[in-house]
């Protein structure tokens, strides 16, 4: 039915019966003239490029070979970097420090000024890296505690970690004077010093200049490692020169500084534990 005239103003009406009749009529006409409807070819899924471009390592190489002078300059720069580069110089300084420690000397003894500067730069960089890692670890622990649906066992006040893997530990009140601590200092008979700190920031301030000792202290704090062994005061042994007091001046001085942070009650408890514990007896008295 034609939609001319006034019917063109109305929306078209699709009559299923009319549509079927139109299809039959179209098929009859196509059959009479012996024609078939054209079959359209489907579009390809991929586009074929006649000359594809492939980016191989050789694509970025220079088209002309290096000249003899360029090759010599390249070898010279590599030799200078291997011999006098930052990594080479730091390696030499580490070897010198190791030899001094092995000989019972001070770390920087007989060092030239430039060697001391390199060693201090290495130490400062290590401190920065350790401090950043310690803060990240502490932040993750606090976040985990806050997001926990149940109270976390072994944490005082919700955020202060306490190592609960060891037994026979007694937490005593902190000193009346805070001494600038972020956390507290507590008696710990399983620790070589007989006491330890409960905050990563305090550990960094006390042991940040000794990366190995600091890492051991942090691991011990979170229950992931044994009691620290690096930088602790050794019990005197006449057969072991490293245990002589004159060779432990740094460790003894640090132990005395930490001991002075304890309040009288804690110091008394440390003395009692030292008398009872074989581990406590490893620590030498400084007075």
Question: Residue 286 — very low, low, confident or very high, per pLDDT cuts 50/70/90?
Answer: very low
- What tokens appear for 130 in the block? 């350790």
User: pLDDT value at position 37?
Assistant: 63
Is pLDDT of 159 > 50?
Answer: no
What ranges in the chain are assigned the alpha helix state H? Answer: 16-32, 68-84, 86-102, 113-146, 200-207, 211-221, 249-259, 264-276
Write the CB contacts of 274 (distance below 8 Å, at least 6 apart in sequence): 194, 280, 281, 283
Question: Residue 18 — very low, low, confident or very high, per pLDDT cuts 50/70/90?
Answer: confident
Q: Is 194 left (phi over 0), alpha (psi -120 to 50) or beta?
A: left
Percentage helix, strand, coil, to 5, in the chain? Answer: 50, 5, 45
Higher pLDDT, 265 or 157: 265
pLDDT digits (tens, 9 = 90+) for 170-201: 444 444 445 678 788 888 888 989 899 988 88
- Say if residues 216 and 231 touch (Cβ distance below 8 Å): no
pLDDT digits (tens, 9 = 90+) for 54-74: 666 665 666 677 888 888 888
Q: How many CA atoms lie less than 13 Å away from 246 in the CB half-sphere?
A: 4
Is pLDDT of 15 > 60?
Answer: yes
Is pLDDT of 215 > 60?
Answer: yes
Over the chain, what is the mean pLDDT?
75
Length of the chain: 287
pLDDT digits (tens, 9 = 90+) for 113-148: 888 888 888 888 887 877 777 777 767 666 666 666
Boundaries of every domain in the chain: 68-146, 163-282
**Angle between helices 113-146 and 86-102 in degrees, nearest 10:** 90
Nearest to 192 by CA among 118, 281, 275: 281
User: pLDDT value at position 46?
Assistant: 65
Is pLDDT of 269 > 80?
Answer: yes
How large is the average pLDDT for residues 147-163?
Answer: 51
C-alpha distance from residue 120 to each of 33, 93, 108 (Å) = 98, 10, 10
- Say if residues 227 and 220 touch (Cβ distance below 8 Å): yes
Look-up: residue for tokens 């290096």? 66
Q: Is the pTM of this model over 0.85?
A: no
């Amino acid at each position: 039915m034609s939609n001319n005239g006034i019917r063109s103003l109305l929306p078209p009406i699709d009559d299923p019966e009319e549509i079927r009749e139109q299809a039959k009529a179209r098929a009859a006409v196509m059959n009479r003239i012996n024609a078939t409807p054209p079959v359209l070819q489907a579009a390809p899924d991929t586009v074929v490029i006649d000359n594809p471009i492939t980016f191989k390592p050789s694509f970025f190489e220079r088209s002309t070979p290096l000249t003899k002078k360029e090759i010599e300059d390249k070898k010279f720069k590599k030799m200078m970097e291997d011999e006098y580069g930052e990594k080479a110089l730091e390696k030499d300084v580490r070897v010198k420090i190791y030899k001094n420690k092995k000989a019972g000397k001070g770390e920087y003894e007989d060092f030239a000024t430039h060697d001391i500067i390199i060693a201090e730069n290495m130490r400062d960089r290590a401190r920065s890296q350790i401090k950043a890692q310690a803060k990240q670890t502490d932040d993750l622990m606090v976040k985990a505690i806050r997001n926990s649906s149940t109270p976390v066992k072994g944490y005082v006040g919700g955020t202060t970690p306490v190592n609960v893997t060891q037994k026979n530990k007694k937490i005593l009140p902190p000193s009346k004077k805070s001494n600038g601590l972020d956390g507290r200092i507590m008696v710990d008979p399983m620790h070589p010093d007989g006491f330890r700190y409960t905050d990563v920031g305090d550990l960094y301030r006390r042991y940040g200049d000794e990366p190995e000792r600091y890492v051991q202290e942090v691991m011990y704090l979170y229950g992931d490692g044994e009691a620290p062994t690096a930088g602790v005061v050794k019990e005197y042994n006449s057969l072991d020169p490293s245990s002589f007091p004159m060779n432990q001046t740094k460790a003894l001085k640090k132990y005395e500084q930490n001991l002075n942070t304890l309040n009288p009650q804690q110091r008394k408890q440390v003395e009692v534990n030292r008398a009872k514990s074989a581990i406590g007896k490893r620590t030498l008295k400084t007075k």
